[in-house]
Structure 1
Amino acid sequence: MSDAALKEELAYLGIEWSILEHEAVFTVEESLAIHDALPGGHTKNLFLKDSGGQFWLVTVEHSKRVDLKALAGAIGAKKLSFGKAEDMTAHLGVTPGSVTPLGVRCDILNEVRVVLDEDLAAEDMVYVHPMRNTATIGLSGADLLRVLDYYKHEPLIAAIPERAPADPA
């Protein structure tokens, strides 16, 4: 999806947004300077597949250490593992490092279930990639839900279970 198409869709929906262009970032750690410059909820996206073959896109607050085993039970999935890059590209139109909930725009067969961290859904400002990892778009959590609905992907809003911190001993 081009930036122009995304901007047209956001305008059509009456959604206010901002964009920050930056160097390519591939990990949460690489994007920490961007987080400091833009107050609000920053995302981490997990493209997963369960043992039954269902694809999942889980969007959480960037600092959460997701417990995949507990997450499966929380969202009604079978055993979860990370999806393959080629499946990500086929379903979401992105490559690793550019994963975004906006990618469900490419999932016209609705084969990816979307899960959104309840904390992000309530944020005044949420930051996601616009289908590329060289920019960050900010919009409200409510507007992100509107976009997902427009793309015919009603997300499951969930409390995301976190792994316990590592024992320092």
Structure 2
Amino acid sequence: MGGMAKKKHEKGAGSTPATVQLEKAGVPFKTYEYAHSNDHMDDGYGVEAATKLGFDEHQVFKTLMADTGSERVVGVVPVSGHMDLKALAAAVGAKKAAMADPKVAMRESGYVVGGISPLGQRTHHKTVLDESALQYDEILLSGGKRGFSVGVNPNDLLKVLDAVAAPIGTW
């Protein structure tokens, strides 16, 4: 970890619905900010966060929304890979899943693409965290806006979201 792009804040700083949910749950977390740029976005928002914050891409996670036909569910996977939609569907007891329309994801989460957090969403969804997160004491994920990440223990994340861990990431 390193670089000038990272700024750690105490609780209360950079308040978003995501940090508010963590604070209300009494979950310890760190916040990290970096200057988001639309240049070279071919690699994605999460890879940009990992690079600018100096974290391994396997430790930084992205939030994706999928539709099972009967409900929308949230998958949280490392930015270094992709989400396995069949595995996500199986983890929530569905037969299949497809990526949700970005406009639907933004409306239901309350966040913009590139800043969608599994925390503090406008509409609660079943959430599945890729089990690879459990090897870390801290993972980073969107704090609710582009250029803003939160670092949290994955076990705390599972508890606060009432989520499950399953092998839903592919590399």
**TM-score relative to the length of structure 2:** 0.73
Contact 1:40 1:125 (8 Å CA) reproduced: no
Task: Give the 5 Å matches for 1:98-117.
Answer: 98-104=115-121, 106-107=122-123, 110=124, 112-117=125-130
Instruction: Assess, with a 3 A threshold, how the Cα gap between structure 1 residues 144 and 73 changes in structure 2: closer, same or farther.
Output: closer
Q: Which residue of 2 aligns with 1:127?
A: 140
Q: Name which of 120, 131, 139 aligns with 1:118.
A: 131
| Residues 37-46 or 11-20, more deviating | 37-46
Identity of aligned residues (%): 25
Per-residue CA deviations over 1:21-70 (Å, capped at 9, x if unaligned) read 112265233233135257982102221112x2310110012223333234
The answer for the alignment partner of 2:25 in structure 1 is 13
Residue deviations 1:126-154 (CA, integer Å, cap 9, x gap) = 11111101211111112212331xxxxx2
Whichever residue aligns with residue 29 of structure 1, its letter is V
> Is 1:95 aligned with 2:128?
no
Distance of 1:44 and 1:7 partners within structure 2: 16
Q: How many pairs are equivalent?
A: 152
Q: Distance in 2 between matches of 1:6 and 1:67?
A: 25
Distance in 2 between the 1:122 and 1:58 partners?
18
Identify if the C-alpha distance between structure 1 residues 125 and 83 changes in structure 2 by more than 3 Å, giving closer, same or farther: same
Q: Secondary structure at the match of 2:75?
A: strand
Distance 2:141 2:157 in 1: 9
Q: Which moved more, 1:4-13 or 1:127-136?
A: 4-13
Q: Which residue of 2 aligns with 1:140?
A: 153
Q: Which runs of 5+ in 1 are unaligned?
A: 149-153, 164-169
Kindly provide the amino acid, as one letter, of the partner of residue 65 in structure 2.
F
Q: Name the aligned partner's letter for residue 63 of structure 1.
A: S
RMSD: 2.8
Q: Which moved more, 1:89-98 or 1:19-28?
A: 19-28
Q: Provide the C-alpha distance between the structure 2 equivalents of 1:15 and 1:70, rounded to a whole number of angstroms.
A: 28
**Contact persistence 1:117–1:160 (CA under 8 A):** yes
